[in-house]
Amino acid sequence: MKKVIALSACLLGKQCRYDASDNKNESLLTLLEGAELIAFCPEDYAFGTPRPTMDLIETKEGCKAISNESGEDLSSPVIAYAKDFFDRHPQIDVFIGKDRSPSCGVCSAKVYDKEKNLLRIDEAGLMAQEAKKRHIHCLDAEHFTLQGQI
């Protein structure tokens, strides 16, 4: 049976990054030939493209996605998108997220303190956190491309 893979849309070539560019990854797409791909982009859905960047900031209530432009907490719309996405696609076998993204990174997102000092570089982005909570097998795209198999 075909594997069902949820994949960051920018890796497929969708121009949904903050600056309306993409992260198309041909080697990754070659490795995924034959799988059923379901693309997602929480930030494009919630905030549109182009948009200001955001970073994960450690707070007393956990990691929050904070706008680098307004300082606003943007976590809720990203988490709401993620919950709805996984509710609508319960058949997903594997989640492949764009490494280092505060939404999609699996073990590679940067976390800062409120003064913007870097605390760690191995956090899950907010959408990847939701995938992990649902016990979906999760991989960073970079890791998957190096590993070459699921």
In the complex, which residues of this chain contact ligand SF4 (CB under 6 A)? Answer: 8-10, 16-17, 41-44, 98, 101, 103-104
Smallest distance from ligand SF4 to CB 98, Å: 4
- Which residues have a Cβ under 8 Å from the Cβ of 111 and sit 6 or more positions away? 56, 57, 58, 63, 118, 119, 120, 121, 123
Q: Mention every residue, 6+ apart, whose C-beta is less than 8 A from residue 136.
A: 6, 86, 92, 93, 94, 95
Q: In angstroms, how far is the first alpha carbon of the chain from the final one?
A: 14
CB of 131 to ligand SF4, least distance (A): 12
CB 64 → ligand SF4: shortest distance, Å? Answer: 16
By C-beta, is 103 or 108 nearer to ligand SF4? 103
- Considering the complex, state which of residue 69 and residue 115 has its C-beta at the smaller distance from ligand SF4: 69
Q: Which is nearer to ligand SF4, 45 or 115 (CB)?
A: 45
